[in-house]
Amino acid sequence: MRASGDWITAVPHLGFSGLGHGADPVSKAFDAHRLTAQRASGHGSCFTPGMGSTANLAAVGTGDYGCAGSARQLRVS
């Protein structure tokens, strides 16, 4: 999940001796189930109450995976 306009896209995804960001969890190579960040913009807005991304994070945190909106289902990259 990454919101449009998120500045983190400009940060190199590198890791060295346990420091850095490491692999990009949104990349296809990471092979994670991507959740939608639809309607969110910027780095911190994924945690704004009422956003679909907040509901996704809550669903994953409570183990209700079937309620989490998939980026693949919604054709969001």
Quote the longest CA-to-CA distance of the chain: 38
Contact by Cβ (8 Å): 40, 3: yes
pLDDT in tens, 33-54: 777 777 777 777 778 887 778 8
Q: pTM of whole model > 0.75?
A: no
User: Is 74's pLDDT higher than 70?
Assistant: no
Mean pLDDT of the chain: 76
CA gap 74, 10 in Å, rounded: 25
Instruction: Name the residue ranges covered by the structural domains of the chain.
Output: 7-67
Between CA 29 and CA 58 the distance in angstroms is 25
Long-range contacts of 64-69 (CB under 8 A, 24+ apart): 68/35, 69/35, 69/36, 69/38
